[in-house]
Amino acid sequence: MTQDERQPQKNIDSKNAAFWDNLCGSQLAQQLGIEDDSAQSLKKFDDWYFGYYPYLYTHIPFAKMKDKRVLEVGLGYGTVSQKIAESGADYNGLDIAAGPVGMVNQRMGRGGLNGKAVQGSILEPPFDAASFDWVVAIGCLHHTGDLTGAIKQVHRLLKTGGEAMIMVYNACSYRQLQNSPITTLKRLYAKPETIADIADTSGDSKSRGAYDTNDEGDAAPQTEFVSTMELQAMCSDFSQCSIVAENIGEESLFKKMSRQRALKFGKAVGLDLYCHVVK
């Protein structure tokens, strides 16, 4: 599906701004019994988050960001945001929705941290070209409605030699294989330019809802799933690109396993692709 065949980008941005204004992680916070945004409550959320996704410490080298100008795209509950700022980075946050921006700025102010978040789209970022040493985008760019365009903006914003960590959803994960085995197998080995002949790269409502829903149970407005080969093609402007799969859900056989054991299958059939690129 071409960009011309999709909804106008302005409509997508408007829907995303409304959907993500309810912080990503709000349902989790409720499950954890968190009822406010006190420092104690946020720490409880953050501790759970990094405990559930321990590989984030591997893929986001917080220590290397000290004294670096860092842009985070897609802010959610601000857990990664605060960790980046606490590392000593010059932190900058960007989100399409007002809610996450407010949460991150509250965290920055409360902690006396060097950082600020602003509302806007990565497709039209309010920053100069070649102005960042690092860009971090965890679970965000695939929701923009234009993943290729978002990755091109990441490249534009980085200084020469700058690095980015981008996490997007894996089109060839165990969940996709379970739900659409023939399509997923075809896509696994297809060349990126032929993907459109196999399946629409934007998931239907049911597929999207398996990953992100709001309090009413509605799926995220836009979600684009990509294979490793597709993602490599999208990152062809970078001098280096390495991709690793991670993350396992709590369905199927995995619901009977401990989280630690289940995560061992992540690198083979994981839900997410962690892409490290260097300009």
pLDDT category, 189, cuts 50, 70, 90?
Answer: confident
- Which pLDDT does position 183 carry in this prediction? 85
Helices (H), 64-132: 79-86, 98-111
How many structural domains compose the chain?
1
Predicted confidence band at 25 (pLDDT cuts at 50, 70, 90)? low
Cβ neighbours of residue 183 closer than 8 Å, sequence gap 6 or more: 198, 199
Mean pLDDT, residues 173-182: 91
Q: Which neighbouring-strand residues pair with 136?
A: 72, 165
Query: Burial, 143: exposed, middle or buried (Cβ in 10 Å; 0-12, 13-18, 19+)?
Result: buried
Q: Is the pLDDT of residue 186 over 90?
A: no
Least confident of 96-110, 156-170, 192-206, 251-265: 192-206
Averaged pLDDT, 119-142: 98
Mean pLDDT of 104-111: 96
pLDDT in tens, 46-67: 999 999 999 999 999 999 999 9
Task: Report the C-alpha gap between 163 and 78 in whole angstroms.
Answer: 21
Q: Give residue-wise pLDDT tens across range 231-278.
A: 999 999 999 999 999 999 998 889 999 999 999 999 999 999 999 999
SS (H, E, C) 153-222: HHHHHEEEEEEEEEEEEECCCHHHHHHCHHHHHHHHHCCHHHHHHCCCCECCHHHHHCCCECCCCCECCC
Q: Name the residue type at position 124.
A: E
Please report the pLDDT score of residue 195 as a whole number.
61
pLDDT over threshold 80, residue 115 = yes
Confidence of residue 37 (pLDDT cuts 50, 70, 90): confident
Contact 44, 34 (CB under 8 A): yes
Query: For residue 109, is pLDDT > 90?
Result: yes
Q: What is the CATH number of the domain that holds 220?
A: 3.40.50.150
pLDDT of residue 149: 96
Per the structure, the complete domain to which residue 38 belongs is given by 3-278
Q: What is the mean pLDDT of the chain?
A: 91
**How long a stretch of residues is the chain?**
279
Residue 130 has pLDDT above 80, yes or no: yes
